[in-house]
Amino acid sequence: MNQDHPIIRTENLKKIYGSGEAQVNALDGITLTIQQGEFVAIMGPSGSGKSTLLNILACLDRPSEGRYFLDGIEVSQYSRRDLALIRGRKIGMVFQSYNLLPRLTALENVLLPIFYRREQRLSAEEARQRALAMLESVGLGDRAHHYPNQLSGGQQQRVAIARALVNDPALILADEPTGNLDSHASQEILELLQNLHAQGRTIVLVTHDPEVAARTERILLIRDGHLISDQSNDRRQPLVTPLASAQRTEPTVEAHHDR
Amino acid sequence: MIAEILREAWRSLRANKLRSLLTTLGVIIGVAAVIVMMAISAGTEAAISESIYSLGSNLIFISSTFSRVGPGERPQSVGGLVYDDVAAIREKIKGVAGVTVDQQASVTIRRGDITLEGVTLLGTTADYPVVRGLSVASGRYFTNTEVERVQKVAVLGKTIAEKLFGDEDPIGQTITVNKTQLTVIGILAEKGLVAGTDFDQIVYTPIKVVFQKFTPSQFARFMGNRVRQITVAVEPHANIDQVVEQITLLLVNRHNVSLDSPDFNIRTQADIIKARESTTATFRNLLIWVASVSLLVGGIGIMNIMLVSVTERTREIGLRQAVGATPEDIQIQFLTEALVLSLLGGLIGIGVGIAGSYLFGMVSGMRTVIVPYAIGISFTSAALVGVLFGYLPARRAAGLDPIVALRYE
């Protein structure tokens, strides 16, 4: 991976829904930079625009205005097709509800992103080996031929993480990855993400849970479409609620709450 | 890649086995219908042309066309074929292998204590075996001299001979037909059932014997020596069109009628087969339309189920898009599913159609012939149906917004 540029760089990202009276600015100028190897949490109350931001960062959506550079490539105006291709190549997504395909085994679910890969296609056997290795790396080598409904929630989420990793993406985006899990399984998943971070992966997760956010290195706080806090998170210190400490605003973000 | 797409499609169809099968039912029925119906019509056609050809080859049929008369009017005494035309054609036309005319009657035959009722007595000329492709097994057929002299002789079909004489040699024996005694001079070889006539169940005799002894007197008086149909066998290498032309000219001359309104009608075997074929072709086209409608309905069924499937699998589509599937990938996936579904229906339909054709043939006794191009046509149209009716659902799937699709419950 190229070290010269950040993994994520956005310039004044805006997302506007509707027009005229009914116009809603879901994102109202977000500028942020995430470097290679960072572990970042995006927090914010519901309706704050954090999901919209995640969708744009995940290349599932396009900003109305502003620019988004993913791994040095400007993708803001990509077509649907190009966005799909860049998703497959650069992004591994983890969802709250795992989103495994129930008809496929764990192994086949992990193979799915390889199936849609356009460049450096692997032979069937290579792909299988790679998917199996990914399952082993999340501790599920012995569950490769189980179907999702034969796995616990935590195990399903680990399969989903293996799937996110299988194309060796530049960025892992996790949307409430522990939202459906009990505390024990949540701990396992968070440890797994921390291990991946320790291996040098860049991870951005969206959460409303301060405990989850506390496991990351940096917390971005979104409210009303603005980035109102960007704070590095020293894990040796006791947990500070990000909302309480949301004083320091990013200088590039305009603060206008006149809506 | 293609193998993977196919496997993917196969897997998702297998996930809903019953539904997939029911969906393909329309296509199965359509394809099977095409094959069975084509098999029936091809079998019928083959049976018809075979029976027409087995009457003998290169035949020309000349029939009388009487001028129309109103009710109560006496038919005009002129017009139509006469018995002497037979001799004229035989003598004056080149390239003719045989000319015959026949007149039949239903008779009762007695020999000793054996009585057979309702037997067909067929009066013919000497050329009859040549024209109809019959051969004499023992003894001989009668000659034209015997016809002219009204000799009371008979030639027996194989079955009749067995019924009357069993193991005895019938040649030289006498049978009583109604009240007339006929001497048996020959037995024909087995011919079997041809065009609805069992040639083995007939007693053959000189036509003039029938005219004199077995035609109801009133009818005989009215008909005189007029005949309804003369059959001409053309020599194998002769030009049949030329022979037809010569016969036409000869008869127009003899009957003293104009070429524009002759009192007879000439058809060749080829004309008859062509006419039959056009009838079966009309029938076949109708069947093909019926089958097409069935395929269309099958296609709509596939489209319906594919649309349901797209809705059900919205989240799956969203996820596939999230992990890098482009809209084309999604479209190809669903199109492939529709195609696999319809081809599967096509294959099953071919199996059902072939089995159904045999079964129908066995049960009904009708001849069925599996037509290879019917299989080709129906399979191709099944594929076409898949692509055509899979397109809309596939487009819908491809057009889904991944964000909305991922959140779909």
DSSP state of B210: I
For residue B8, list chain A residues with Cβ-Cβ distance below 8 A.
115
Of the candidates A55, A81, A112, the beta carbon closest to that of B323 is on A112
> Is B269 domain-assigned?
no
Mean pLDDT value of segment B107-122: 80
Chain A hits for B323, Cβ within 8 Å: 87-88, 93, 112-113, 116, 163
Neighboring chain B residues of A170 at a CB cutoff of 8 Å: none
Lowest mean pLDDT among A105-114, A149-158, B276-285: B276-285
Q: State the pLDDT at residue B196.
A: 66
- Tokens 């086209």 identify what position? B285
Task: Tell me how close the Cα of A95 comes to any Cα of chain B, in angstroms.
Answer: 9
Give the integer Cα–Cα distance in Å for A233 and A251.
Answer: 19
Q: B155: Cβ–Cβ under 8 A, 6 or more apart, which residues?
A: B136, B139, B141, B142, B184, B185, B186, B187, B188, B203, B204, B205
Residue A60 one-letter amino acid:
L
Q: Which of A61, A84, A101 sits opposite B324 (nearest CB)?
A: A84
Q: Do B7 and B100 share a domain, yes or no?
A: no
Amino acid B79: pLDDT: 58
> Encoding tokens for residue B62?
């000349």
* CB of A70 closer than 8 Å to CB of A51: no
Computed over every residue of chain B, the mean pLDDT equals 81
Identity (one letter) of the amino acid at B253?
A: N
- pLDDT band for position A59 (cuts 50, 70, 90): very high
Q: Which two tokens stand for residue B91?
A: 């003598």
Residue A134 sits at the vertex; the CA angle it makes with A130 and A138, to the nearest 5 degrees, is 165
Complex ipTM: 0.87
> Is residue B274 one of the residues assigned to a domain?
no
Contact, A145 vs A105, CB < 8 A?
yes
Kindly state the greatest CA–CA separation across chain A: 59
Which of A58, A88, A103 minimises the CB distance to B11? Answer: A103
Count of CB atoms situated within 10 Å of the CB of A22:
7
Distance, in Å, from the CA atom of B345 to the CA atom of B382, rounded to the nearest integer, reads 8
Reading the block at residue B138, the tokens are: 């023992």
Asked whether the beta carbons of A113 and A88 are under 8 A apart, the reply is: yes
Which residue segments constitute the domains of chain A, with CATH numbers given? 8-232 (3.40.50.300)
- For residue A258, the model assigns a pLDDT of 42
Question: Are the Cβ atoms of B322 and A85 closer than 8 angstroms?
Answer: no
Residues A181 and A192: their CA atoms lie apart, in Å, by 14
pLDDT, position A253: 40
pLDDT of residue A251 exceeding 60, the answer is no
Of A55, A81, A113, the CB nearest to B323: A113
Q: What is the pLDDT of residues A162-181, one digit of tens each?
A: 999 999 999 999 999 998 99
Q: Which residue bears the tokens 């993406």?
A: A169
> Which class for A210: exposed (0-12), middle (13-18), buried (19 or more C-beta within 10 A)?
middle
Q: What percent of chain B shows pLDDT beyond 70?
A: 91
Instruction: Determine the average pLDDT of the residues in B193-206.
Output: 76
- Give the rounded distance of the alpha carbon of B126 from its chain centre: 31
Residue A256 pLDDT: 46
pLDDT of residue A140: 92
Is it the case that residue A247 has pLDDT exceeding 50? Answer: no
Mark which of B210, B236, B262 sits at the end of a domain. Answer: B262
Give me A154's structure tokens.
């935590």
Residue of A nearest to B321 (CA): A84
Interchain CB distance below 8 Å, A60 and B328 = no
B208 with B310, same domain: the answer is: no
Q: Where are the alpha helices (DSSP H) in B54-192?
A: 83-92, 128-132, 144-148, 158-165
Binary contact (A87, B316; C-beta < 8 A): no
Q: In the numeric block, which tokens belong to residue B131? A: 């024209």
Angle at A84 between CA A81 and CA A87, to 5 degrees: 150
pLDDT, tens digit (0-9, with 9 covering 90-100), for B10-60: 888 888 888 888 888 888 988 888 888 888 888 887 777 776 666 656 788
Quick one: B174 and B246 in the same domain? yes
Q: How far is B312 from chain A (nearest CA, A)?
A: 12
User: Integer distance in angstroms from the first to the last C-alpha of chain B?
Assistant: 30
Q: Which residues of A touch B325 (CB under 8 A)?
A: 84, 88, 116
Q: Which residues of B touch A (CB under 8 A)?
A: 1, 4, 8, 11-12, 15, 315-316, 318-329, 402-403, 406
Residue A58 in contact with partner chain B when CB distance is under 8 A: yes
Residue from B157, B232, B231, B233 nearest B191 by CA? B157
Q: Which residue has tokens 């013919």?
A: B124
Asked whether residue B257 falls in the same domain as residue B299, the answer is no
Q: What pLDDT, on a 0 to 100 scale, did the predictor assign at position A255?
A: 41
pLDDT at A244: 42
Give residue A245's pLDDT band: very low, low, confident or very high (50, 70, 90).
Answer: very low
pLDDT in tens, B220-263: 545 556 777 788 888 777 777 888 888 888 888 777 777 777 77
Nearest to A193 by CA among A176, A210, A209, A215: A215
B382 to chain A nearest CA, in Å? 28
Q: Which of residues 59-118 of A touch B (CB under 8 A)?
A: 60-61, 80-81, 84-85, 87-89, 93, 95, 99, 101, 103-104, 112-113, 115-117
Cross-chain residue pair B323–A87, CB shorter than 8 Å: yes
Q: Which of A99, A104, A121, A172 best tests the B interface by mutation, with the highest count of B CBs <10 A?
A: A99
CA proximity to A41, closest of A153, A172, A224? A172
Scan for tokens 């699709």, then name that residue: B405
A258 vs chain B: nearest CA distance in angstroms? 30
Q: Is residue B392 part of a domain?
A: yes
b/e burial code for range A98-137 (CB count within 10 A of at least 16 → b): bbbbebbbbbbbbbbbbbbbeeeeeeeeebbebbbebbeb
Number of compact structural domains in chain B = 2
Higher pLDDT, A243 or B319: B319
Same domain, B95 and B227: yes
Count Cβ–Cβ pairs < 8 Å, chain A vs chain B.
Answer: 61
Q: Diameter of chain B by CA atoms?
A: 104
Per-residue pLDDT averaged across B341-370, rounded? 90
Task: Give the one of B12, B15, B322 whose C-beta lies nearest to A87's C-beta.
Answer: B322
The helix/strand count (H/E) of chain B reads as 14, 15
Q: Tell me: the pLDDT tens digits for B283-314?
A: 778 877 887 888 888 888 889 989 999 999 99
- B-facing residues of A in 208-247 (CB < 8 A) are none
Is B185 found in the same domain as B120? yes
Strand partners, B232: B60, B99
Those residues with Cβ within 8 angstroms of residue B279's Cβ, 6 or more apart along the chain or in another chain: none
CB A30 within 8 A of CB A12: yes
Contact A167 B324 (CB under 8 A): yes
Task: Look at the block and give the residue holding tokens 């080859």.
Answer: B57
Tokens of A141: 């080598």
pLDDT in tens, A113-166: 998 988 888 888 999 999 999 999 999 999 999 999 999 999 999 999 999 999
* Domain housing B84: 66-262
Q: Do both B206 and B110 map to the same domain? A: yes
Is A99 close to B403, i.e. CB distance below 8 A?
Answer: no
Is position B380 within any domain? Answer: yes
Q: How confident is the model at residue B72 (pLDDT cuts 50, 70, 90)?
A: low
In a domain, B59, yes or no: no
Regarding whether B38 and B83 lie in a shared domain, the answer is no
Nearest-CA residue of chain B relative to A163?
B323
Are A116 and B12 inside 8 Å of each other by CB? no
B286 and B382 together in one domain: yes
Question: What tens digit of pLDDT does each residue of A206-244 get?
Answer: 998 898 999 999 999 999 999 999 988 765 444 444 444
Q: Where are the alpha helices (DSSP H) in B239-326?
A: 240-255, 269-312, 314-322
pLDDT mean over B82-108: 79
pLDDT at A254: 42
Q: Is B270 contained in some domain?
A: no
Q: What is the mean pLDDT of residues B109-127?
A: 80
User: Is the residue at B273 inside a domain?
Assistant: no
A103/B329 touch (CB, cutoff 8 Å), yes or no: no
A124 CB neighbours in chain B (<8 A) are 4
Does B354 reside within a domain?
yes
Using CA atoms, how far apart are residues B317 and B388, in angstroms rounded to an integer? 21
CB B261 within 8 Å of CB B78: no
pLDDT band at A40 (very low <50, low <70, confident <90, very high): very high
- Is the Cβ pair B327, A84 closer than 8 Å? yes
Q: Tell me the chain A residues in contact with residue B15 when contact means C-beta distances shorter than 8 Å.
A: 103
Name the residue type at position B305. Answer: I
Say whether both B291 and B341 belong to one domain.
Answer: yes
Same domain, residue pair B145 and B87: yes
**DSSP class of A238:** P
Hey, are the CB atoms on B322 and A101 less than 8 Å from each other? no
Q: For residue A187, give the DSSP letter.
A: H
Residues of chain B positioned with their CB less than 8 A from the CB of A55: 403
- Residue position matching structure tokens 């998703």: A87
DSSP sequence for A106-165: HHHHHHHHHHT--SSPPPHHHHHHHHHHHHHHTT-GGGTT--GGGS-HHHHHHHHHHHHH
- Between the alpha carbon of residue A33 and those of residues A12, A65, A87, A168, A250, the distances in Å are 11, 17, 19, 21, 11
User: Looking at chain B, which residue has its C-alpha nearest residue A102?
Assistant: B316
| Residues B131-171 pLDDT 10s | 777 777 788 888 887 777 777 888 888 888 777 777 777 78
On the question of pLDDT at B90 being above 80, the answer is no
| Dihedral angle computed from the Cα positions of residues A18, A19, A25 and A27, in that order, rounded to the nearest 10 degrees | 70
Residue range A92-104: mean pLDDT, rounded:
92
Q: Are A7 and A171 in contact (CB under 8 A)?
A: yes
Does residue B262 or residue A204 have the better pLDDT?
A: A204
Same domain? For B35 and B73 the reply is no
CA distance B318 to B403: 7
Q: What is the pLDDT of residue B67?
A: 53
| Least confident range of A107-111, B253-257, B357-361, B379-383 | B253-257
Which of A75, A87, A96, A108 to mutate: most B Cβ within 10 Å? A87
Min mean pLDDT across B267-271, B370-374, B394-398 is at: B267-271
* Residue B331 distance to chain A (closest CA, Å): 12
